[in-house]
Structure formats: structure tokens, C-alpha cells
Amino acid sequence: MDQRLDLTKIAPDGYKAMLGVHSYVQNSGLGLGLLELIKMRVSQINGCAFCIAMHVPLARKHGVSEDQLHLLAVWREAPVYSPKERAALAWAEALTRLADGDVSDEVYAETCQHFPEKEVADLSFAVAEINAWNRLMMCTRTPPQLGSAAA
């Protein structure tokens, strides 16, 4: 499959705006390993090969275990995630799967048990960011960069 568009060339200001959101999320104070888990799980749901290929090596770099990587698609049944990671993954799934309905009060309450309000907001920006990147990479048919991690 050939790439349709190169957003860095045809819409550099839009691309820079996305990088601004990325910078905010990366510097929010949330753990980088946790952010990588969220980015990978959302990318799995959305089917974005580019983003999955990018975030697997980054997850390893930031301390995500091989078991966590391999079991991410079935995280609810896997004993390798902390309660905090589970809450973040549930929040990420709820915000990504909005077609399934509203984000439930139960998921929100569970998230708030593990994260202060500011971090819930930052998690929400992280989920919004990776959902946007997934959509941009998929609509442009940007192929995965295999064997390397882009920043």
C-alpha cells in the first residue's frame, strides 16, 4: 500500500500543532511507560499499524515488560498490569470507543481512584492525541517504519 499524503509537507502547520499536543502529553508528568501502554492499546483498537510499530520499541525503552506487550489486547484477563494501569487502560478504551456510548460513571470513578483530577485530564489528552495520530496515519496510509522507533 502506498502512502497517499505526506502531512509534514502539505500541512506543516497542522503537523506542528499535533507535535504541540504530543509535547504537552509527554511532559505532563504521567509515566512514559504508562503512556506507551495507552498509545499501543488505542492503536490496537483503531488498527493503526504505523503507530503500533512505533510504540512497541518505545514501550520497551520506557520499561514496559514483554508480558505486558504480548498481553495488552487481553489486559482485563492478564495479571501483569497494576490497578493503576488497568484504570488507565479502561479510561483509554472508553474514550476511544465512544460509539459504544457515554463514558460510564463507573469507569470515571475507577480512574479517579488512581489518578488526581489533573492526571485524568492529562490521560484524556493522551488518548485524544493517539486517536488523532491513528486517524491521520490511517487516512494517509503512512506505512509502518519497521525496525525503528520514531519520536
Which parts of the chain fold into alpha helices (H)? 7-10, 12-26, 32-46, 49-61, 66-71, 83-96, 105-114, 117-139
Q: Determine the pLDDT at residue 100.
A: 80
Model pLDDT for residues 109-147, shown as the tens digit of each residue: 999 999 999 999 999 999 999 999 999 999 999 989 887
Locate the domains of the chain by residue range: 16-139
Model pLDDT for residues 81-115, shown as the tens digit of each residue: 999 999 999 999 999 999 888 999 999 999 999 99
Query: Within 13 Å, how many C-alpha atoms sit on residue 5's CB side?
Result: 12
User: 75: which DSSP letter?
Assistant: T
Q: Determine the pLDDT at residue 1.
A: 73
Q: Determine the pLDDT at residue 148.
A: 52
Helices 32-46 and 12-26: crossing angle in degrees, nearest 10, is 130
Judged against a pLDDT cut of 60, whether residue 151 lies above it is answered with no
User: 145: which DSSP letter?
Assistant: -
Model pLDDT for residues 46-65, shown as the tens digit of each residue: 999 999 999 999 999 999 99
Q: Determine the pLDDT at residue 149.
A: 47
| Superfamily name and number for 16-139 | AhpD-like (1.20.1290.10)
User: And the C-alpha cell for 99?
Assistant: 460509539
Confidence grade of residue 150 (pLDDT, cut at 50, 70, 90): very low
